[in-house]
Amino acid sequence: MALVPLESNPEVMTKFIHQLGVPDKFSLVDVYGLDGDLLAMVPRPVLALILLYPDCGKASAYTADLVTKIKDEGQEVSPNVFHMEQSVSNACGTVALVHAIANNQDRIDLDDGILKTFLEKAKDLSFSERGELLVNTASKIIDAHEQLAQEGQTQAPQEDAPVYHHFVAFVEKDGSLYELDGRKPFPINYGPTTKDDLLENATKVCGEYMARDPEEVRFTMIALVAD
């Protein structure tokens, strides 16, 4: 099974999360760069940062090395981090948005609906079980993904067309900055942060993604913010 990928479009993503039951006061906005002046333009508070990056050989090689290193050396991960597997091709945009929202339930009072029901059912499940639940029993979320994937500014690709980009989410949880990726077997703990410093610290990690592939320009950052 493969989905039509979501476009990295804040307007489309905002419509999507509102359909899932996120109140209207929350939205997604573009983050235009890494320097302080551009970060100062982003509305606060920032609850999560989503990065879209080119999923090329360099990125895949780095990810493989990072996962191996963490498996060998270990890391601390808060048990309160919600992390789920991406079990369907091209669902990374939806998984990133779910990660952003699920790890901010103390700040986002979800309306009754498909996402709130999914998160209640998924609360005590494993990484892989959550991914299966999204596909098998939360089909309305997938249906919303498919509908919104057609509403971007560019023509939506076919479901089986190769996709060269991947979404990941960055959140603060219990005082640490985490990267959440449905294709990585565990969250990546990047060290201490506060909610107020989330944007600055997360964009530093995004800058490292960019520095590993300096000839590539197809990076996009989008923040989940509250009005």
CA distance 7 to 151: 8
Say if strands 26-31 and 220-226 run parallel, antiparallel, or are unpaired.
antiparallel
Give the angle 96-195-10 at the CA atoms, nearest 5°.
Answer: 40
Rg of the chain, C-alpha, whole Å: 16
The structure tokens listed for 25 are 């006061």
Before 192, cis peptide (omega within 30)? no
CA distance 97 to 48: 9
Say if strands 165-173 and 46-54 run parallel, antiparallel, or are unpaired.
antiparallel
Say if strands 188-192 and 165-173 run parallel, antiparallel, or are unpaired.
unpaired
User: Is the CA virtual torsion 4, 6, 8, 12 positive or negative?
Assistant: positive
Residues with catalytic roles:
92, 166
- If residue 150 lies in a helix (H) or strand (E), which one and from where to where? none
Instruction: Yes or no: say if 14 and 226 are a contact pair by the CB < 8 Å rule.
Output: no
Give CA separation, 37 vs 31, 40, 44, 161, in Å: 11, 5, 14, 38
Q: What is the DSSP letter of 88?
A: S
